[in-house]
Structure 1
Amino acid sequence: MKCSKIIVFSISFIGMVFISSCKKDSNSNEIFTSDSTSVSYSYPNEQVAHNITFDYLPTSTTNQIINHKYYTLSYSEKDEQPEWVGYELKANYIVNNNFKRPYFIDDPKVTTGSADWRNYKNSGYDKGHLCPAADMEFDKNAYNETFYTSNISPQDRGFNGGVWNRLEQKTRYWASMYDGVYVITGGVLKGSLKSIGKEKVTVPDYFYKILLDNSNGKYKMIAFLMPNKKSEKPLYSFVVSVDSIEKLTGIDFFPKLEDKLEDSLEKNVSYNLWLFN
């Protein structure tokens, strides 16, 4: 890989900004708008790119945080996909505009280069959105941004079109019901996992989705952990504690919540506060 990089350190409590320019060697297996040289990390209670606020970002184990306009991700170069994607799904985002689906393209903000979509070709796996396109149909640009290859992961076709799709639809239902929810989702990128394509894109055995609702200062949280395979089981059978997903992934999902509140929410495995009907 040929790469030229300038790193600018900004010393303050809000973190650092990395400015980089890097091109992937087309012969190598290595591998939020369109300014491809600016990557910034925004901590909770600050503004992320383009003044869209997302208050509940996880920690990153990869040190490559990418801010898009309506979602944020932590990109794992060794796995050629995000370890998590986080965004706020507001109630007024839930619309159906029937936009034309664009082609998947490389993410210009991933400095090491996001995996090419051709890795998925003839692999037997879908290019599974983590921030679903259907969550961003309120705006054409927001919709198109979900087609960066930094926002996809190899998913079993029966899983992607089945139980995972059911969970995505239920998430939109909850966003409408509770006037918006915060969503964190990704594949579990630990253990001995298979890969696909020339760039060796990791195939997760499990995917997780964590939802946080803060309605009038009252918090509730629910988390799902699903095997990457077809299932007809009801969604509530996949409910687990956030703590258990943190142990699997090594990620602290809500580090800026007050400690006692975080501990209470993340240990909870009850789904009684969430309407499943």
Structure 2
Amino acid sequence: MSFARLVRNSFISLASFGLGVVFDRQFNLYAKVANQNILDDELNRIDQIDSSRSKSIFPRYEYDNSTMVQQIGKYGFPSTDSIRSYKNFVLSYDRRNRIANWVLEYVTIDDITSDHYDRSGLDFHEDQSFHRYFRSTNQDYKSSGYDRGHLAAAGNYRSNPKFIAETYVLSNIAPQIGVGFNRDKWNELERYCRKRIREVKAAWICTGPLYLARKDPNNGNITSSSK
């Protein structure tokens, strides 16, 4: 075989290989986008079904104007969010991380006033209004080293045991470092909010998680800080 023919064949082979790589990448990209669109459509379909079920799973209590869910949502919510409304708070749910994006509540001095406040016997429970693929469970927290930290605080609704129980739904819970944060600084912040409510009679409270994890340069582990 002549040198010229060898060069030509080598060029054709390289060109064919290059075109194959390009077409393969384009096909995989198209397939990835198509599959993601299918997944997004399916997630939205499931969430719409779950939203309709939630009305029967979590029946709304009879309430008067002192309950603020209607006022919380009077201006509407982002249409793409998975919204759940409870007696006195509303949350937007992150199905990927299985934690709320935010929880919004309107707390009055009447909500936090009670001669008897008892949380004994209350258990954290799954939010059955979400598909099992997307809801948080108690097993997620078992041996994790994290506390189940309230977003809408149980102490904000000490006037009514039913309201307190609602705050134990796991969609209202975020993983929190125990000593130094959930049992200390976070608890102090909740107490401060109630102190201010006693002074001003009512307040809006919006709570959500911050993802502050970082990689330990010594061992590569992912850690988080309560600072």
TM-score, length-scaled by structure 1: 0.51
Q: Tell me by how many angstroms 1:105 deviates.
A: 0.7
- The equivalent of 2:117 in structure 1 is 98
Matched, 1:125 2:146: yes
CA–CA distance in 2 between the matches of 1:189 and 1:149?
Answer: 18
Amino acid of the residue matched to residue 200 of structure 2?
Y
Amino acid of the residue matched to residue 97 of structure 2?
D
Looking at secondary structure, tell me which structure has more helix per residue. Answer: 2
When residues 180 and 68 of structure 1 are mapped into structure 2, their CA distance, relative to the original with a 3 A threshold, is same
CA–CA distance in 2 between the matches of 1:129 and 1:51?
Answer: 18
Asked whether the equivalents of residues 189 and 204 of structure 1 are also in contact (C-alpha less than 8 Å), the reply is no
Equivalent position to 1:109, from 126, 129, 145: 129
Q: Tell me by how many angstroms 1:60 deviates.
A: 4.8
Looking at secondary structure, tell me which structure has more strand per residue. Answer: 1
**Secondary structure class of the residue paired with 1:161:** helix
Equivalent position to 1:183, from 205, 209, 214: 205
For structure 2, which runs of at least 5 residues remain unmatched after alignment? Answer: 1-41, 60-64, 216-221
Amino acid of the residue matched to residue 174 of structure 1?
R
TM-score, length-scaled by structure 2: 0.62
CA–CA distance in 2 between the matches of 1:189 and 1:114?
Answer: 19
For structure 1, which runs of at least 5 residues remain unmatched after alignment? Answer: 8-17, 23-32, 39-46, 194-202, 206-226, 230-277
Q: For residues 34-73 of structure 1, what are the structure 2 equivalents within 5 Å?
A: 35-36=56-57, 52-54=70-72, 60=78, 63-73=81-91
Q: For residues 114-263 of structure 1, what are the structure 2 equivalents within 5 Å?
A: 114-158=135-179, 159-189=181-211, 205=224, 228-229=226-227
Q: Quote the sequence identity (%).
A: 23
Q: Tell me by how many angstroms 1:123 deviates.
A: 1.0
CA–CA distance in 1 between the matches of 2:223 and 2:97?
Answer: 9
Q: Tell me by how many angstroms 1:185 deviates.
A: 0.4
Aligned length: 168
When residues 55 and 20 of structure 1 are mapped into structure 2, their CA distance, relative to the original with a 3 A threshold, is closer
- The equivalent of 1:20 in structure 2 is 49
> Aligned-pair RMSD on alpha carbons?
3.7
Asked whether the equivalents of residues 57 and 86 of structure 1 are also in contact (C-alpha less than 8 Å), the reply is no
